[in-house]
């Protein structure tokens, strides 16, 4: 069987998980040919746990120039995602980027523009798009079966993290290291799914608390209100301080309602659309009849393995990706707008001023706390990042 030769940039939590999935045989068209990490301990782990002959590099560019790989997976801190994606594209190396696409849309837009002129397969690791519940929600909404969206609500607070989590890595929960908190670390999947299923909002107003529940400088509690082009509204609530947390995603439409919670998808389908019923009904307390069902799905959720197998298929046979790399900017645009709204305490219209967002982010990067052994991130004059 023909295989792609994959290099993994970053042998941390996610990089290791991908390696283990591939070594376990879950991705039969992928061979891990090389890994790169600046941490000697992780390279030692690779030496002890991976097959003989796998290249090990303490420098990502050296791996990209080694000739050992034809594709790469980027699983390093957020700021460097676009930088190394572009380095892959320059060399004609196919690239899969872990979430989020980057920290700020100006940076990600540069990556997307470069990708347009690169003859490579470019994917995003949006593994939650493979979940059978979310795929079914999108199918129903996009089909128009239940009419136009009127309201969306997602309470996603089952991201609880204790202080020990934030103390486990010097880059975590700092503006200079991570670029944000719960929105950049835990919620990129939710924000992507929200827009993938419901579409992009046009206005956002957010309230955030920074270090409300933890000794951190970034957001750990968010409540955002949005408006869509058709006048529909939405609310997104998330936190890493709630326990027990909740994951309830509700979409109200003209002809019914969808609710995803506890691994189930519930659907209410109105006998008559609400707008039509309201116009024709003559009873003061009348209400359209609704049929309730638990929606049937195919039950399949291939997650990271599914995304990687689709990536290999796209390279070898030209079959579709789970998510194109250029789509990573959408959820990031929502989170950037939420941050900007909270920082300026006002409603933000999309598209927003990306230069203003960058300036506001840099104010926080400059005063970001420093930890022992921390590699601070500074902007150079071109607006890209280097570590020092």
The CATH number assigned to the domain holding 35 equals 3.40.50.720
Measured distance CA(236)–CA(117) in Å, rounded: 36
Q: Are residues 161 and 195 in the same domain?
A: yes
Q: Do 151 and 94 belong together in one domain?
A: no
Residue 122 and residue 63 share a domain: yes
* Domain total of the chain: 2
Residues 116, 217 within the same domain:
no
Spatial distance between the Cα atoms of 46 and 56, rounded to a whole number of angstroms:
8
CB-CB contact of 218 with 210 (8 Å)? yes
- pLDDT at position 370 is 59
Cα distance between residue 146 and residue 149, in whole Å? 8
In a domain, 153, yes or no: yes
pLDDT of residue 170: 84
CATH value at residue 153: 3.30.360.10
Could you list the pLDDT tens digit for every one of the 388 residues in the chain? 799 999 999 999 999 999 999 999 999 999 999 999 999 999 999 999 999 999 999 999 999 999 999 999 999 999 999 999 999 999 999 999 999 999 999 999 999 999 999 999 999 999 999 999 999 999 999 999 999 999 999 999 999 999 999 998 888 999 999 999 999 999 999 999 999 999 999 999 999 999 999 999 999 999 999 999 999 999 999 999 999 999 999 999 999 999 999 999 999 999 999 999 999 999 999 999 999 999 999 999 999 999 999 999 999 999 999 999 999 999 999 999 999 999 999 999 999 999 999 999 999 999 998 544 334 443 332 333 333 2
Residue range(s) defining the domain that contains residue 48: 4-128+303-324
> What is the CB neighbour count within 10 angstroms for residue 272?
14
- Burial of residue 203, with CB atoms counted within 10 A of its CB: 0-12 exposed, 13-18 middle, 19 or more buried: middle
Residues 119 and 145 in one domain: no
**CA 157, 160, 161, 163 torsion: positive or negative?**
positive
* 336 inside domain: no
Q: What is the 3-state secondary structure (H, E, C) of 48-83?
A: HHCCCCCEEECCHHHHHCCCCCCEEEECCCHHHHHH
Q: What pLDDT score does 388 carry? A: 24
CA distance 116 to 323: 15
- Answer whether residue 250 is part of any domain: yes
The verdict on residue 378 lying in a domain is: no
Q: Tell me, yes or no, whether 144 lies in a domain.
A: yes
Of 384, 338, 294, 63, residue with least CA distance to 194: 338
User: Same domain, yes or no, for 147 and 201?
Assistant: yes
**152: cis peptide before it, omega within 30°?**
no
Assigned domain for 178 exists: yes
265 and 318, same domain (yes or no): no
pTM of the model: 0.94
Strand 203-210 relative to strand 219-227: parallel, antiparallel, unpaired? antiparallel
Strands 233-239 vs 149-156: parallel, antiparallel or unpaired: parallel
Dihedral sign for Cα 334, 336, 339, 341, please.
negative
201 and 117, same structural domain? no
Burial class, 338, CB count within 10 angstroms (exposed 0-12 / middle 13-18 / buried 19+): buried
227 and 148 assigned to the same domain: yes
Q: How much is the pLDDT for 383?
A: 34
Alpha-carbon distances, residue 350 vs 77, 140, 202, 244, 328 (angstroms): 26, 26, 5, 34, 16
Bridge partners of 264, per DSSP, are 261
Distance (Å, whole) CA 145 – CA 135: 15
- Same-domain status, 246 and 315: no
CA distance 270 to 37: 55
3-state secondary structure of 35: strand
Q: Looking at the domain assignment, is residue 187 inside a domain?
A: yes
Same domain, residue pair 180 and 273: yes
Clarify whether residues 193 and 289 are in a common domain. Answer: yes
Is residue 332 in some structural domain? no
- How buried is residue 382: exposed, middle or buried, by Cβ count under 10 Å (0-12/13-18/19+)? exposed
CA dist., res. 362 & res. 356, Å (int): 10
């Amino acid at each position: 069987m023909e295989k792609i030769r994959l290099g993994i940039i970053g042998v941390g939590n996610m990089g290791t998980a991908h390696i283990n999935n591939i070594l376990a045989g879950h991705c039969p068209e992928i061979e891990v040919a090389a890994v790169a990490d600046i941490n000697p301990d992780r390279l030692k782990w690779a030496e002890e746990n991976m097959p003989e002959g796998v290249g090990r590099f303490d420098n990502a560019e050296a791996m990209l120039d080694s000739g050992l790989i034809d594709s790469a997976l980027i699983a390093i801190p957020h700021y460097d995602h676009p930088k190394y994606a572009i380095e892959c594209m320059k060399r004609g190396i196919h690239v899969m980027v872990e979430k989020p696409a980057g920290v700020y849309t100006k940076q990600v837009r540069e990556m997307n523009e470069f990708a347009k002129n690169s003859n490579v397969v470019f994917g995003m690791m949006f593994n939650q798009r493979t979940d059978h519940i979310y795929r079914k929600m999108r199918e129903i909404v996009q089909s128009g079966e239940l009419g136009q969206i009127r309201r969306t609500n997602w309470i996603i607070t089952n991201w609880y993290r204790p202080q020990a989590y934030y103390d486990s890595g010097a880059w975590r929960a700092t503006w200079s290291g991570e670029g944000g908190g719960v929105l950049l670390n835990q919620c990129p999947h939710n924000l992507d799914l929200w827009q993938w299923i419901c579409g992009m909002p046009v206005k956002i107003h957010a309230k955030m608390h920074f270090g409300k529940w933890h000794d951190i400088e970034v957001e750990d509690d968010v409540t955002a209100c949005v408006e869509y082009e058709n006048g529909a509204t939405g609310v997104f609530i998330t936190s890493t301080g709630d326990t027990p947390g909740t994951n309830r995603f509700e979409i109200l439409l003209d002809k019914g309602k969808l609710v995803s919670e506890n691994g189930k998808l519930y659907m209410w389908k109105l006998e008559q659309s609400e707008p039509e019923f309201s116009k024709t009904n003559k009873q003061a307390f009348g209400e359209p009849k609704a049929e309730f069902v638990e929606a049937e799905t195919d039950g399949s959720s291939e997650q990271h393995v599914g995304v990687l197998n689709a990536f290999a298929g796209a390279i070898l046979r030209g079959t579709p990706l789970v998510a194109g790399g250029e789509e990573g900017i959408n959820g990031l645009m929502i989170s950037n707008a939420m941050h900007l709204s909270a920082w300026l305490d006002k409603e933000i219209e999309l598209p927003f001023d990306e230069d203003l967002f960058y300036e506001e982010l840099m104010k926080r990067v400059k005063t970001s706390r420093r930890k022992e052994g921390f590699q601070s991130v500074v902007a150079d004059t071109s607006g890209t990042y280097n570590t020092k």
